[in-house]
Structures are given as structure tokens and as C-alpha cells.
Amino acid sequence: MHQLDVDFLDEHIATFILSLQREDGTEFEPTSIRAIISSLDRKLKRHKYPFSIMNEKGPQFSLTRETYNAKKKSLKKQGKGNRPCEADVLTDHEIDIMWQKGVLGPNSPKALVHTMWLNNCLHFGLRGTKEQYSLRWGDIKLKISSDGTEYLELNERQTKTRTGENLSDVRRVTPKMFATNENDPRNPVALYKIYAQKRPANFCDVNDPFYLAPNTIMKQESESDHKESVQWFIRQKIGMNKLSKMLRMMATEAGLPVEKRLTNHSTRKHLVQKLREHNIPATEIMSVTGHKNVQSILNYSNVSHEQQKKCSNILASHGQNADPIQGRKHSVTSTATFSSTQPPSQPEQHQTEAEILPETQVQVPHPQPQYSFQQSLSSSFKSQFFGATFNIQNFHVHNN
């Protein structure tokens, strides 16, 4: 392919995009087509092809780009392009359920591995599969700060955005995970210590894998009679396939709804969403997630399910239920008429105005002198609206 002329190759790729369909005859999502084009682009780049399919600004591959744009518009008319396979955000409530069901915690080897994996995703910003798979026991160090607080510090290896090609491209802030209250059952440092104690003593070198497979052949009597002496983990690394499905397996064990699409990527979304809801600046979130671009942080942040529910309830409310002021027993509708030459300052003047405009009424929830209300209006507006009617409730000014 890399030996073909650019115009000839452009025509064939454009024809390929037009005819591209699944085996069952259904259409691909636009993002899937874009991924296929990117794979072709990478192949050409490996062979040092002089032009790029999607990043070229000249006439080269212009037919392919125009065909792809037309294909996207056609698919959008068919309801495609709405990211149906996008991962949902993991919520605090769902994490609580996992703790309640024993999917997370220190009570079993499997639950302890789940807890280590989730904490490393959330506190260190590690991606759920490859970066976790390459993690070594020596990459995380237990340290103590100057105030006596224990914390875990990550020595980052190769990541998606930091491949090691650029030696100056490193995190400016080393990721850390701090201990919480010593009585907190979810204290991440305490859980790390438990995991360190349960690992095989001869399998804790700096280059040994961080995630070990649980011992699945423990006998029932051993678990009950000699629980402390039973080896929880074996000298075997957890495979990448299992790590790639870690959160989905955890959700299934906890009985979470199957229709919710929870993948490993849901943990990073939870991380960004929660920090943004607590008003942490995007630049500080980047120090946790390892992102290089602020826009990437903004793309992760979405309206949560609870926020959508709140908005829907507000829009569905009507009548008195739509009143944003809760517990209000009286409707305050105050209307005043005043003059620019002689602002009303006596109660008698107010009564005269009321006789001239019988529809003007002042209703207040508690009895108070009416002249003080008109004096405040006159003083505030400096009598700029001569002969005007001012409705306080709706803040509308109608000039006669």
C-alpha cells in the first residue's frame, strides 16, 4: 500500500469508506470508521509515506477526507454517532455497594486485589489495563511526610501519553496516596499494608509483579481453622485479559445493573467528575490523571445521573411546586406609583395615589408601614420613572 501513488491510493480508500459495513450489513459508528482510517495512516507512517491521510492540509487525500465527512453526515441522519458504547461514570453509591457486598475490602484475597486495583486507578490515575499490568511491586513506596502522615508514592513507568521517547516529558508532580483516619476501614495505606503482609514473602522484590493471583485451592477447613497461616496469593501474575475486565467483573459480583456500561475507563471518569464537583481546578486534576491537555479533563466531565434527575424534576414541576422558594406561604406582589417631582413621603399621599389607581395594591406577608416601602423605592431609583408602575415580584417596568 505504501508503494502506491497518492492519487490512486486516495481514490481506493475513498471507495473503501463508502462500501464499509459490518458482516451483518449494518453500518459502523463514525468513530469506528475514524479508527480504521487512523490504522491505515499509522501503517503508512511506519513506511515513511510522505503524506498523511487525515492530517494533510494539501490536496493529497482530499477525496478521502471529503468522503469521510459525507459518510459521517449520512450516518448521523440514521441516528449514529451518539457514542452508544461510551463508558458510564462509576458513582460513589456503586462503590459503597461493592464495599457492602464484600467485593471490596480486606476480607478475602479477591476483594483485596480489587481494592488495590481501584485505589491505584483513583489515587494514581493509572489506566485500568496496560498500566496496571506493567506495575511492579517496587514502583510504589511507603513513605512518611514531615507531619507524620503516611503515604504511598508512585514511580511512574511508560504510559499512554508518556512513552519515554522524550526524556523531559515526565510528571511535574509525583502521584501520592495519603492515609486517612486510622479507624477508617477504607484507609488506602492500611489496606496496602495488609496486601503486603498477605503476599508471599519471597515474591516482594522490586521487579516482581504488583498484582498476584489469589490462591483458589485453599481448603474450607484451612480458611476457618488456620486462616492466618494460609497463603492468600500464589507466585503468579494476574493476566492482562483479566485486568481489562476488572471493573465489569466487580460490578457483576456486586449485582449492579447490567444495562449500565461500566468499564475500566469508568474509574478515570469517576476520578475527574468527583474532583471537579469539589471545585478542584483542572490543572490540579491533571497532576493526578497524568493528562497533558486541560481540554481532556473537560471532555471527561459530564452531567451526572443525579444532576440530570434534579434538572428533570425542576422542569417537570408546575404551579406552586415550581416556586423556587420553599416554604413560602404568601405571595408578595407589591406595586408602587411615584412622582419624579415630589416623591411620596406620607401615608396620606399614598392613599391619594391608590384612589387614582385603584388596581394598584400593596400586599405584604407581615403588616408594616406602607410609606417606608415607597420611600425606599423613591430613594433607590431617584424617581426616574415618572408615572410608572413597578412590579416587584416580576421585576417588570411598564411605562404609561
What is the pLDDT averaged over residues 140-153? Answer: 92
Facing residues of 152 across strands?
A: 142, 177
Q: What is the mean pLDDT of the chain?
A: 76
pLDDT of residue 218: 60
Please work out, in degrees rounded to the nearest 5, the angle formed at the alpha carbon of residue 192 by the alpha carbons of 191 and 196: 120
What percent of the chain stands above pLDDT 70?
65
* Helix 109-124 × helix 188-198 angle, to 10°: 140
| Whether 56 and 103 share a structural domain | no
State whether the Cα torsion 239-244-247-251 is positive or negative.
negative
With contact defined as beta carbons under 8 Å apart, do 170 and 292 qualify?
no
For residue 279, name the pLDDT band (cuts at 50, 70, 90): confident
- Number of neighbouring beta carbons within 10 Å of residue 259: 6
| Whether 45 and 125 share a structural domain | no
Query: Among 74-88, 100-114, 342-356, 379-393, which range has the highest average pLDDT?
Result: 100-114
**Is pLDDT of 56 > 70?**
yes
For residue 55, name the pLDDT band (cuts at 50, 70, 90): confident
Within-domain flag for 251: yes
How many Å apart are CA 249 and CA 255, to the nearest integer?
10
pLDDT of residue 171: 61
Write phi, then psi, for 390 (nearest 5 degrees): -115, 120
CB-based contacts of 309: which residues, under 8 Å, 6+ apart?
A: none
How many Å apart are CA 17 and CA 70, to the nearest integer?
10
| pLDDT tens for each residue of 233-242 | 999 999 999 9
For residue 166, name the pLDDT band (cuts at 50, 70, 90): low
**Domain stop point among 77, 102, 127:** 77
What is the pLDDT averaged over residues 382-386? Answer: 44
**Domain stop point among 28, 44, 77:** 77
Within-domain flag for 316: no
| Whether 284 and 393 share a structural domain | no
Q: Is 316 exposed, middle or buried (0-12, 13-18, 19+ CB in 10 A)?
A: exposed
Q: What is the CATH number of the domain that holds 271?
A: 1.10.443.10
Domain count, the chain: 3
What cell does 97 get?
A: 455497594
In 218-289, beta strands by DSSP E: 233-237
For residue 392, name the pLDDT band (cuts at 50, 70, 90): very low
Q: Output the CA–CA distances (angstroms, integers) from residue 7 to 13, 68, 111, in the order listed.
A: 10, 16, 57
How many Å apart are CA 105 and CA 234, to the nearest integer?
19
**Is pLDDT of 200 > 70?**
yes
**Is pLDDT of 223 > 90?**
no
| Whether 276 and 165 share a structural domain | yes
For residue 253, name the pLDDT band (cuts at 50, 70, 90): very high
What is the pLDDT averaged over residues 3-21? Answer: 90
Closest CA to 388 of 376, 379, 373, 377: 377
Rg of the chain (C-alpha set): 33
Closest CA to 289 of 146, 123, 168: 123
**Is pLDDT of 330 > 50?**
no
| Whether 296 and 362 share a structural domain | no
Instruction: Provide the whole-model pTM.
Output: 0.58
| Whether 132 and 261 share a structural domain | yes
Q: Name residue 206's amino acid.
A: V
Within-domain flag for 323: no
Buried b (16+ CB within 10 A) or exposed e, 120-156: bbbbbbbbbbbbbbebebebbeeeeeeeeebbbebeb
| Whether 108 and 70 share a structural domain | no
| Whether 115 and 59 share a structural domain | no
Within-domain flag for 49: yes
| Domain that residue 385 falls in | 333-399
Within-domain flag for 280: yes
| Whether 66 and 127 share a structural domain | no
| Whether 58 and 135 share a structural domain | no
**Domain stop point among 77, 109, 140:** 77
State whether the Cα torsion 196-198-204-209 is positive or negative.
negative
Within-domain flag for 225: yes
Point out the least confidently predicted range of 132-136, 282-286, 386-390. Answer: 386-390
Within-domain flag for 328: no
| Whether 73 and 104 share a structural domain | no
For residue 157, name the pLDDT band (cuts at 50, 70, 90): low
| Whether 246 and 276 share a structural domain | yes
pLDDT of residue 221: 43
Within-domain flag for 261: yes
pLDDT of residue 271: 81
